[in-house]
A and B are shown apart, each in its own frame.
Chain A
Amino acid sequence: MSDTNDLMKQVHELEKFKAPPSLQEKLLAIPELHAKPANFNKQFRRIAPFGLAAAAVILLYTNVPHDDEEPMDTSYSYEEIETARQELAMAFHYLTDVSQQAGADVNHLIADSGKQALIKGVFYPILDEKKELNIKSGETK
């Protein structure tokens, strides 16, 4: 294969990659995940604590020490960190639930794109779920 034409013939035969089925599922879910709910700003303020808790999960989940380890940041007491860890764990379970309802895997979302995936893949479903809960409980605001 000494000349450019022969080489280019080989280039033409290079594989065209196919999108994996798991990617197609994520792409098809985008319209649902990115539908902006009505009263977005009002809803945003109301569920902001969930968003913050979720962001904290992303940022701290792997950094919080376990029971038998010394806290890494000594400006916090062990009790404070333990409380935060428990709250983060609860928030993580909550995220898992809502993301499963949205057909997503929270571990995958977090591993993939961190906060961006959180906002796109989890935050909106939280909004939807909060809205649904409010409707069920008769709250109209």
Chain B
Amino acid sequence: MTDLYRSLVSKHQDQVYSLARYLLADASEAEDVAQETFIKLWKNLENIGEAHIVPWLLKVTRNGCLDRLRARKALVELDEQDLPIVEKDEPSAIEGHRRMQETLMAMIQSLEEPWRSLLILRDIHEHSYESVGEILELKPNQVKVYLHRARNKLAELFEVQQNGLTNHE
């Protein structure tokens, strides 16, 4: 049992940590949630079918993160003014790319559920529609429809930010 547990840690720790890191936007809290998730895995390992381990892990991770976000009282809701501004005269292409990534990350983190989780699970971590559905308790068709909406919401947010930037200039 311990060997199985250890192999699961090796295989899935990055996915668990990365999901928590995106949802919480905090490295230390993400580590805490990852630990809590794997403690639950260790205690429930016998009851989880092998095919369901990844969705189970990510579902527990997400729930742990949402609990913490609720406890924070103020969800990570960044308004447009708080988003990093992508300046046009970047010092370098690499720096520009990095800032763009930070902006997108902050925008995704500012979305509400389930849009945020959908984008993180499907578009960043590339889980299958079936897995995402199992994690979020949605049917695969619902995942596709909701994901489409989530992408549109992100695009709208991005456009607002870009327009704000243009007006700012």
Number of interface residues of B (CB under 8 A): 39
Name B's interface SS. Answer: helix
- Distance in angstroms between the alpha carbons of A15 and B17 in the assembled complex: 12
- Distance in angstroms between the alpha carbons of A4 and B124 in the assembled complex: 15
The B-contacting residues of A in range 1-33, CB under 8 angstroms, are 3-4, 7-8, 10-20, 23-24, 26-28, 30-31
Asked if B35 and A26 sit within 8 Å, CB to CB, the answer is yes
Chain B proximity of A108: nearest CB distance (Å): 10
Asked if B124 and A14 sit within 8 Å, CB to CB, the answer is yes
Asked if B14 and A19 sit within 8 Å, CB to CB, the answer is yes
Decide yes or no whether A113 CB sits under 8 A from chain B.
Answer: yes
* Residue of A8, A27, A28, A31 ringed by the most chain B CB atoms within 10 A: A27
Question: Which residue of chain B has the shortest Cβ distance to A12 in the bound complex?
Answer: B123
- Distance in angstroms between the alpha carbons of A4 and B149 in the assembled complex: 11
Asked if A17 and B14 sit within 8 Å, CB to CB, the answer is yes
Q: Residues of B contacting A4 with CB < 8 Å?
A: 151-152, 154-155
Number of interface residues of A (CB under 8 A): 26
Asked if A11 and B35 sit within 8 Å, CB to CB, the answer is no
Residue from the list A7, A16, A27, A30 in contact with B158, Cβ < 8 A? A7
Asked if A11 and B119 sit within 8 Å, CB to CB, the answer is yes
Decide yes or no whether A112 CB sits under 8 A from chain B.
Answer: yes
Q: Residues of B contacting A19 with CB < 8 Å?
A: 13-14, 16-18, 34
Task: List the interface of chain B (C-beta within 8 A of A).
Answer: 1-2, 5-6, 9-10, 13-14, 16-18, 21-22, 27-28, 30-32, 34-35, 38-39, 42-43, 100-101, 104-105, 108, 119, 123-126, 151-152, 154-155, 158
Task: List the interface of chain A (C-beta within 8 A of B).
Answer: 3-4, 7-8, 10-20, 23-24, 26-28, 30-31, 34, 112-113, 120
CB pairs A–B below 8 angstroms (8 shown): A4-B151, A7-B158, A14-B101, A17-B22, A19-B18, A26-B35, A31-B5, A34-B42
